A = this chain, B = another copy of it.
Amino acid sequence: MDIKEIRLEDLDVTAFIEEQVAAIREAVGQGQAVNALSGGVDSSVVTLLGHRALGDQLKTAFVDNGLMRQDEPQYIQRIFADFGVPVEIVDAQDQFFAALRGVVDPEAKRDQGITKVFYKDVFGQLVRDCGAKVLLQGTNYTDVEETVAGIKRQHNILEQLGIDTQAAYGYTVLEPIIQLRKPAVRAVGKALGLPEELYARPPFPGPALAARVIGEVTPERVALVRAATLIVEEELRDSSAFQYMAILHEDRVTGLRDGKRDFGYQIEVRCWDSTDAVTAAPTNLPFEKLRCIAERVTQEVPGVVSVTYNIAAKPPSCIEAV
């Protein structure tokens, strides 16, 4: 790996922004660039860097893959409108769900289900349509490390895997924050004027809620984990944890509803203390908070009879289940 990390303590935020803006301008020249905004802190920072560098030469798209949080596309579009950044919402839900049908292996989900549809189908089409030569993307340093180590294939890491994206998908990928870990990315986001609700947002995986559904990813199962995610994020927003999430298990367990047997779903809650996602420990949440989350999830998410809290550290666990 010949990419060198810039540590938070070594980061000159102003200089970094100027350098990346200049680098983006140079790479794009007079052409067009396309930018994939997911609403996470990484792609939000890249969007503002790209906007500062390119203005109208940048086309920012939010791909609605059907795997996002509740009302996410509209929420993100609204926030970036305040920066003068127009965000086009691309409805690709059917394409993603079609590619994910019957796929249960985690790597196959990420690879076939997410990477191929995202790059080749949806983004390839967008780039061809607008004549852009360059795609900006929010790959960060931890993504690189994990992919190189063979832990988890990140959806945005084709270059690092030695795949020639120009030949494979018809465009070039620029990754302005690839030398930064999350805390450094947040510092850049803050300096760029991102609202705290975005730059301090917990990390959200590239494959989105598909990474939080064990087993087959269907619209119905994503709806369940989306509803649970809403509850978990509401309840843990003030926890100051690094990341928190709801996971829908494929296993079903025996439950009891209205005095009758109910063979139902289980939701797993994870909440992590971490600074860099390389190692992480479960957060020591007040037990009353855990009880409250479990009660809300079993009452508000249809068919859920059981809720668990992850208590293992990374390693040997990972932050996401899939």
Least distance between A295 CB and chain B CB atoms (Å): 7
Hey, which chain B residues are within 8 Å of A256, CB to CB? 151, 314-318
| B residues less than 8 Å from A314 (CB atoms) | 256
Q: Evaluate contact between B287 and A312: CB separation under 8 angstroms.
A: no
Chain B nearest Cβ from A274, distance in angstroms: 13
Chain B neighbourhood of A322, CB < 8 A: 253-254
Binding-face segment, A18-26, A49-57, A259-267? A259-267
**A268 — which chain B residues lie within 8 A by C-beta?**
308
Is A309 interfacial (CB 8 A cutoff)? Answer: yes
Q: Which of B215, B260, B304 contacts A251 (CB 8 A)?
A: B215
Known: A151-B261, A287-B284, A295-B313. Is A255-B305 also a contact (CB below 8 A)? no
B259 and A149: CB pair below 8 A? yes
In the bound complex, residues from chain B placing their C-beta under 8 Å from that of A251 are: 214-215, 249-251
Chain A to chain B contacts (Cβ below 8 Å), 22 pairs: A106-B263, A151-B261, A214-B251, A249-B249, A254-B320, A255-B316, A255-B318, A256-B315, A256-B317, A256-B318, A257-B316, A281-B291, A282-B291, A284-B287, A294-B311, A294-B313, A305-B316, A306-B321, A307-B311, A307-B317, A308-B311, A309-B309
A sample of 16 more A-B contacts (CB under 8 A), given A151-B261, A255-B318, A294-B312, is: A149-B259, A149-B260, A150-B261, A151-B256, A151-B260, A253-B321, A256-B316, A256-B318, A269-B311, A282-B294, A291-B313, A298-B316, A304-B316, A305-B316, A307-B312, A308-B308
A-B residue pairs, 6 tightest by C-beta = A308-B308, A256-B315, A294-B311, A294-B312, A284-B287, A307-B312
